Amino acid sequence: MNACLCCPPAGLRRRSVLAAALACLSAGPALAAAPAAGPRMAPDQALATLMQGNARYLGAAPQPVAHSAGARAARAAGQAPFAAILGCADSRAAPEVLFNAGLGELFVVRNAGNVADTGAVGSLEYAVANLGVPLIMVLGHERCGAAEAAVAVSRSSVSLPPQLGDMLQPMLPSALAAIRAGGDVVEGTVRANVARSAARLTEVSPVLSAAVAAGRLRIVGARYDLDDEAVTLMS
């Protein structure tokens, strides 16, 4: 059977799609799909706004979600989040709740252990390059189950299901460092993993490292306390 003359070969189509995706990322925020109008925050302003949101949450302020027809239409037309969060999938650590944020205000990427894996890095590249996000927070939390599992594996070679074992691999250096340091090894793993994940974002991503170098982006680490529900910035 002859190939369709109007359709390029599959390999060429794949290369064309990849080239288009890379062009979108390199072009930056101008190609974002109908972002909401309004001035973009500076990185430090975004961080202050985020931390003020946690203060409102601790003060039991209601979550600011507008449900009017106009608000829904604006959200449907495009997104303009002021910050991105790489957080843990733990059900008690939902960033929109912890930072008292409404729909469309935060670009959230979550996985077990807030690990900067391929999916997380690629998602954050999109947030920065196409949506103009000026701040990324890597958010770990107290008594993280993924950190506990990484410590267990590091200490005794616990057998885990294949996918779970692969997922924990990036956390093992943090667990080993915490074990060597002594003290509360799970807490040490949580903190070391936040620092490693934050550093990895610029180590593996030219998009993110260029934005940081240009002053358009700030990357910070933070810890969420399950007991008092406060978010604290890490150095």
Q: Read off the pLDDT of residues 82-119 as tens digits, 9 standing for 90 and up.
A: 999 999 999 999 999 999 999 999 999 999 999 999 99
pLDDT score of 106: 97
Rounded Cα gap, residues 222 and 220, in angstroms: 7
Q: What is the mean pLDDT of the chain?
A: 86
Binding-site residues from annotation for Zn(2+): 88, 90, 141, 144
Per-residue pLDDT tens over the stretch 137-189: 999 999 999 999 999 999 987 778 888 888 899 999 999 999 999 999 999 99
Q: How buried is 18 (Cβ within 10 angstroms: 0-12 exposed, 13-18 middle, 19+ buried)?
A: exposed
Listed by start position, the domains of the chain span 40-61+79-234
- Give Cα separations from 77 to 32, 71, 72, 151 (angstroms): 11, 10, 9, 45
Q: What is the pLDDT of residues 114-141, one digit of tens each?
A: 999 999 999 999 999 999 999 999 999 9
Annotated binding site: 88, 90, 141, 144
Which pLDDT value is given to residue 53?
A: 96
What is the 3-state secondary structure of the chain? CCCCCCCCCHHHHHHHHHHHHHHHHHHCHHHCCCCCCCCCCCHHHHHHHHHHHHHHHHCCCCCCCCCCHHHHHHHHHCCCCCEEEEEECCCCCCHHHHCCCCCCCEEEEEECCCCCCHHHHHHHHHHHHHHCCCEEEEEEECCCHHHHHHHHHHHHCCCCCHHHHHHHHHHHHHHHHHHHHCCCHHHHHHHHHHHHHHHHHHHHCHHHHHHHHCCCCEEEEEEECCCCCCEEEEC
Q: 205 and 126 in contact (C-beta within 8 Å)?
A: no
User: Taking a C-beta distance cutoff of 8 angstroms, is the pair 147, 171 a contact?
Assistant: yes
Residue among 167, 172, 208, 211 nearest 192 (CA): 172
pTM beyond 0.95, yes or no: no
CB distance 185 to 102 below 8 Å: no
Assign domain 40-61+79-234 to a CATH class: alpha beta
Hunting for tokens 């460092």 — which residue is that? 177
As given in the structure block, the two tokens for residue 176 are 């080993």
